[in-house]
Structure formats: C-alpha cells, structure tokens
A and B are shown apart, each in its own frame.
Chain A
C-alpha cells in the first residue's frame, strides 16, 4: 500500500486570493499522478494527468507542477473564485492501481 498525503486538509481563503496545495507520494517506481476536483454531490473531475519529472500543466487559473525525484506535486489556484470551492484530490498510479490522498477541501469566501 502506497502512502499518498495531501496538505493542508482544509483551506479557507477570500475571493481573489491565490493558494496552493501539496501532494506527497513515494518517489520510487513512479508512473503517473492525477489531480481531481470534486464538488459536493458531483463526480470527481480530472484536472491534470502528469507523468514526467518537471511537468507543468495549466488550465485557466489552475496549474500544477510535478517533482518525481523528491515525490511531490503542487496545485496552484490564482485569484480564487467561489466556484473553485471543492475538494482537490491527488492520486498516484503505481503497480497498476491508484492510491489516493485524502484531499484538500477549499472554501473560497466571496
């Protein structure tokens, strides 16, 4: 069983603030890392799939970086909006299975 950890557990920010979360994972035998955004009562939605060390991906105001050698990924949200409120999950794909972190719950206040 691989240990994927996310921090912080929850985050409360004001509209317009920029924020970032961390996903830590075992660096050995790395294959892929996924980031998901999960709004209440909806399906988890894929944000990024990252495979290469040094990968940087961007979608609108959200971006992510990957360091496979040290075993971490950062997710950044620039200028948070209330609609960004959700739980953000990371998952490492390794040994043909996904190992999820417990998520970071983001609340953006107007």
Chain B
C-alpha cells in the first residue's frame, strides 16, 4: 500500500499564474481533504471532497478550487497566485463517510513557492 501520494514535491510559480497539485488517496479511502500550511502555522483546512463533490470548505477564497475523479484521486487548483500562497499543501485521505473524524492519513505535501 503506497499510502497517500502527492505530486509534484516542489513547485515554483510566478505571481498571477495558476497551479494544479495532485493527490492519490490511500487504498480503500474515498474522501480527500486539502490543507495549507504556511510557515510557523498549523495546517489550515481548505476543502474536502467526497463522491466527486466538495463536501466542506474552509475560509479560503474562490481562487482555490478542486476536483475529485472517479478513482478518488483529487486535484487542488489555485488561480491568480499571490506571494501569500507560498506554503506547504497537504492532502489527507479518510475512509467512507467519516470525514476523517476517526481516521485520517496525510501525504508528504507539495511545497509551493510563489515569486
């Protein structure tokens, strides 16, 4: 079992550009959550996908959008990048229906740098 995987590992983008980050959940998990971790802070919840729908959303602007595919993998898209979007983006997966309340597994993250 490969666990939760994310790609790419690192990414450098310019202000105003768009970026797509990818996540494959742990085998048997169908719920994917995305988090942003800025330097010196804890992870902040962006949104959660279940059955290809956004189920919950944190306090992030519409520039942050996502998608979940039939195989449960997910993408996080960020448009019109700002310097403040520089962060580590973590993906987490959890089993059906629990939203992660009792079980959540994290990937290693994608480090995004916006210049």
Chain A residues with CB under 8 Å of chain B are: 1, 4, 6, 31-32, 34, 36, 41-46, 49, 51, 89, 91, 93, 96-103
Pick from A31, A43, A97, A102: contact of B106, CB below 8 A: A43
| Pair B105/A4 contact, Cβ less than 8 Å | no
Q: Give the residue name and chain of the B residue nearest to A38 (CB).
A: B106
Chain B stretch 62-115: residues in CB contact (< 8 A) with chain A: 90, 99-109
CA distance A6 to B42 in the complex (A): 10
Known contacts A31-B101, A43-B3; A97 and B42 CB within 8 A of each other: no
For the complex, what is the distance from the CA of A44 to the CA of B45, rounded to whole Å? 15
Given A32-B102, A43-B4, A49-B102, A100 and B42 touching (CB < 8 A)? yes
Contacting residue for A102 out of B40, B100, B102, B107, CB 8 A: B40
| Residues of B bordering A, CB below 8 Å | 3-4, 33, 35, 40-45, 48, 55-56, 58-59, 90, 99-109
**5 A-B pairs with C-beta separation under 8 A:** A43-B105, A49-B102, A97-B48, A99-B45, A100-B44
Beta-carbon contact of B106 and A98 below 8 Å: no
List the A side residues contacting B107 at CB < 8 Å.
43
Are A96's CB and B42's CB within 8 A? Answer: no
Across-interface contacts of A101 in B (CB, < 8 A): 42
CA distance A21 to B34 in the complex (A): 26
A93 touches B101 (CB 8 A): yes
Q: Are B55 and A44 in contact (CB under 8 A)?
A: no
**Least distance between A41 CB and chain B CB atoms (Å):** 7
Q: Which residues of B contact A41 (CB under 8 A)?
A: 108
Give CA–CA (A81, B6) in the complex, Å: 30
Question: Once the chains are docked, how many angstroms separate the CA of A36 from the CA of B42?
Answer: 11
Q: Is the CB of A97 within 8 A of B56?
A: yes
Smallest CB separation, B3 vs chain A (Å): 7
